[in-house]
Structure 1
Amino acid sequence: MKNKVHEFKNHLMSGISYVLPVIIAGSLVVAVAKIVGFLFGETDLNAFADSGGMLHYAYLFEQVGWTAIGLLNIILGAYIAHSISGKPGLAAGLVGGALASSTNAGFLGAVLAGFFAGWLTNWVKNNVKLEGSFASAVPLIILPLITVGATGILMALILGQPLGWLNTTLLEWITDMTQSSTNNVVLAAILGGMIAFDMGGPVNKAAWMAGNALLISGVYLPAIMVNAAICVPPLGYGLATLVKKNNFSNELKESGKGSLIMGIIGITEGAIPFTLKSPLKLIPLNVVAGAAGSATAILLGAHDVMPPVGGVYGFFSVGSGWAYVIGILVGALIIAFGSNALVNFNDEKQVASQAEVVKSEDDIELDFDTL
């Protein structure tokens, strides 16, 4: 059972790893187009779809970004299937992801379609055999016919409508939550804590995908919450090496420089070398800091004006960008002072002890996947 869960997680993470650069690139393109619009005093570039001039070109550039963002479900479905069954699963995965978008089944539909396409492809490869001159027809004709056809039936006729309803209901519920300042802070704390929990692992990616799947539907605030929390752990440990230099080995002092840069850019994996020194103490600290940082940003008034750009420098894409930056700093400072108070990063005996404790815990699994 454990192996099956591990396989499932790996296939899902593989699909998400292919989605990441596309969503990031699309968000950046949209943000640049929006900034051009703001410089001309315009907030809605759709009004210039049929006109000429600079703002028309800004509108066209914005559409490039939205096209990239709109590929999320297609890429996710395709590369989950690819992770399971290789190239033969791509066709059905692509179709399943496209149908997840067209039926409004969304992120969940793309995930289910990808797994179904991959598993069905493996079944056909292992069980449908032809002899002689007909053998070459299996990979070229029979396999894609069965896999694409079955995935299409599953998504268009069976799962599309109920998943579309579920997706719409969840979207409405989260949209209603974002209308309440109290609910916003709670949601920010939850997403921020998830982001900081395993820094690139499945919990982190689940929160990231939640924020960016909503972004496709025009709900930007959860993505702001996620982006703020992503910066907190690496920036916090980078600052920790400056706050109390003598508490760190020379190796970690050097890692701290890289961690500062990764914090500014928005790459949580920069915190991993520090967290692994004493995970049972530092993972809870990371979660508290991520939750506090994200919640503080929202509490102070960070809000959505365009698809948000990640990293500390992404403040320009956030309404009340100063609140976004302060939230990140609050979370980072919790780690900077808290980690120095909890752990002696020069104490190799403590490091070894903590590492052994984590290895001996069967129910703790940290999978730090890099971008």
Structure 2
Amino acid sequence: MKAKLKVIEGHLMTGISYILPVIIGASLIVGLAKLVGLGFGVSDLNAYKDAGGILHGAYLMEQVGWTGIGLMNVLLAGFIAYSIADKSGLAAGFIGGALASSTNAGFIGAVIAGFFAGYVALLVKRKIQIQGSAAGLVPLLILPLITVGLTGLLMSVLLGGPLGALNTALIEWIKGMVADGTSTLALALILGAMIGFDLGGPVNKSAWMAGNALFLSGVYLPAILVNIAIVIPPLGYGLATLIRKRNFSPTFREAGRGGLVMGIIGITEGAIPFTLVNPLKLIPLNVVACAAGSGVAALLGVHDIMPPIGGLYGFFSVGNWWAYLIGALTGALVIGIGANLLVNFSEKKEPQKPEHDQKQKEEDDFDLVLEG
């Protein structure tokens, strides 16, 4: 059972790794367009859709970014299917992802469509074998017909409506939490703890994807909270090497400098070499620190003013930017002080790079969510 779950996790992580560059690039484009507008005192560029000049150009740039962001479900489903069945799963996966968007089934629908399309394609490849000159009919005609047809039936007839209703209810529930200060704190603590738990693993990526899925629906605060948590672990361990240098071997001190850089740009995996020294003590520390950082930012009233950008420098894309920075630095200090109290890094083995397959290495938490 564990082996099967590991395989499923691998396919999901592969799908996420392929969409990261698209989401990050598109989010940066939207953010830059918004900044141009704000520079002219304009918060809504839609008013310049038919105008001329710089603001019209900013509007067009913003639309380019939103077009890229809108591909998230399509690409996620397509590349999950690709991970399972190689090229044979792409067509049905992409179409299933598009149907997840059009039926408002969202991220959950895209994941289901991707796995369904991939495993159907794999089954067809294994079970339908034609020999001779007609062998080319399988990949070009029979396989696309069956996979696209069944995936389309699943998403448009069977699951589209129920998943759309579920997704809408979930979004409304999250919006209600965002509007309620107490619930916002709970949301911050949960998302922060998930980010800190496994540093780029499935729990971390689930929180990241939740932020991105809500981002597509115009709910930006969860993405901001995720972005804050993402910078904390690498920044915290980098800070720890500065607070008490003699507690770290030369190799760890060097890794700490890298951690500071990774924290600034938002790559949670920069904390993994430190966490591996004593996971039983440091994983709980990471969870507490990330939850505390996101929670402090929420209490101080961090809020959205545009699609948020990840990394420590993403503070300029949020309201109450100082709350963003205070939250991130609070979490980093929890790790910076706590790691020195809990573990002696000078007597442990040198940091090792965690073993991941090549596809999973491509993942990171350059969050912007749009997040990690």
Mark yes or no: TM-score above 0.5. Answer: yes
Q: Which residue of 1 aligns with 2:291?
A: 291
TM-score (norm 1): 0.94
Amino acid of the structure 2 residue aligned with 1:86: D
Q: Which residue of 1 aligns with 2:271?
A: 271
Aligned-partner Cα distance in 1 for 2:89–2:363? 24
Tell me the CA shift for residue 133 of structure 1.
Answer: 2.1
Tell me the CA shift for residue 21 of structure 1.
Answer: 1.3
Aligned-partner Cα distance in 2 for 1:97–1:295? 34
Q: Which residue of 1 aligns with 2:258?
A: 258
- Would you say 1:159 and 2:163 are equivalent positions? no
How do 1:63-212 and structure 2 match up within 5 A? Answer: 63-212=63-212
Q: Secondary structure at the match of 1:41?
A: coil
Aligned-partner Cα distance in 2 for 1:16–1:308? 19
Q: Which residue of 1 aligns with 2:355?
A: none
Tell me the CA shift for residue 132 of structure 1.
Answer: 2.5
Amino acid of the structure 2 residue aligned with 1:173: W
Assess if the C-alpha contact under 8 Å between 1:240 and 1:336 holds in 2.
Answer: yes
Change (3 A) 1:254 1:175: same
Tell me the CA shift for residue 167 of structure 1.
Answer: 0.3
Tell me the CA shift for residue 134 of structure 1.
Answer: 1.7
Unpaired runs of 5+ in structure 2? 353-359, 365-372
Tell me the CA shift for residue 53 of structure 1.
Answer: 1.4
Question: For 1:230-286, what per-residue CA distance to the aligned partner results, in whole angstroms no more than 9, with x for missing partners?
Answer: 000000000000000000000000000000000011100110010001110000000
Assess if the C-alpha contact under 8 Å between 1:77 and 1:93 holds in 2.
Answer: yes
Assess if the C-alpha contact under 8 Å between 2:228 and 2:312 holds in 1.
Answer: yes
Amino acid of the structure 1 residue aligned with 2:346: N
Aligned-partner Cα distance in 1 for 2:70–2:60? 15
Aligned-partner Cα distance in 1 for 2:28–2:363? 20
Aligned-partner Cα distance in 1 for 2:23–2:298? 23
Tell me the CA shift for residue 52 of structure 1.
Answer: 1.2
Q: Secondary structure at the match of 1:136?
A: helix
Q: Secondary structure at the match of 2:42?
A: coil
How do 1:8-87 and structure 2 match up within 5 A? Answer: 8-87=8-87
Question: For 1:306-332, what per-residue CA distance to the aligned partner results, in whole angstroms no more than 9, with x for missing partners?
Answer: 110001100010001110000000000
Aligned-partner Cα distance in 2 for 1:292–1:24? 26
Instruction: Name the Cα RMSD after superposition.
Output: 1.3
Tell me the CA shift for residue 17 of structure 1.
Answer: 0.6
Amino acid of the structure 2 residue aligned with 1:97: G
- Would you say 1:315 and 2:292 are equivalent positions? no
Question: For 1:3-47, what per-residue CA distance to the aligned partner results, in whole angstroms no more than 9, with x for missing partners?
Answer: 110000000000011111111111111111111111111111011
Amino acid of the structure 2 residue aligned with 1:340: N
Assess if the C-alpha contact under 8 Å between 1:269 and 1:368 holds in 2.
Answer: no
Q: Secondary structure at the match of 1:122?
A: helix
Aligned-partner Cα distance in 2 for 1:232–1:34? 26
Q: Secondary structure at the match of 1:88?
A: helix
Aligned-partner Cα distance in 2 for 1:2–1:196? 23
Change (3 A) 1:191 1:369: farther
Aligned-partner Cα distance in 2 for 1:325–1:244? 23
Assess if the C-alpha contact under 8 Å between 1:266 and 1:312 holds in 2.
Answer: yes
Question: For 1:56-85, what per-residue CA distance to the aligned partner results, in whole angstroms no more than 9, with x for missing partners?
Answer: 110100011111111100000000000000
Assess if the C-alpha contact under 8 Å between 2:208 and 2:226 holds in 1.
Answer: yes
Unpaired runs of 5+ in structure 1? 356-366
Question: For 1:69-102, what per-residue CA distance to the aligned partner results, in whole angstroms no more than 9, with x for missing partners?
Answer: 1110000000000000001110010000000001
Question: For 1:193-219, what per-residue CA distance to the aligned partner results, in whole angstroms no more than 9, with x for missing partners?
Answer: 100111111010000000011001100
TM-score (norm 2): 0.94
Assess if the C-alpha contact under 8 Å between 1:266 and 1:311 holds in 2.
Answer: yes
Amino acid of the structure 2 residue aligned with 1:237: Y
Tell me the CA shift for residue 131 of structure 1.
Answer: 2.9
Aligned-partner Cα distance in 2 for 1:334–1:2? 34
Amino acid of the structure 1 residue aligned with 2:3: N
Question: For 1:163-214, what per-residue CA distance to the aligned partner results, in whole angstroms no more than 9, with x for missing partners?
Answer: 0000000000000110011111110110011001111110100000000110
Q: Secondary structure at the match of 2:179?
A: coil
Tell me the CA shift for residue 370 of structure 1.
Answer: 4.2
Amino acid of the structure 1 residue aligned with 2:120: L
Aligned-partner Cα distance in 2 for 1:284–1:125? 45
Length, aligned pairs only = 356
Between 329-338 and 12-21, the greater mean CA deviation after superposition: 12-21
Amino acid of the structure 2 residue aligned with 1:144: P
Q: Secondary structure at the match of 1:306?
A: coil
Counting aligned pairs with the same residue, the percent is 64
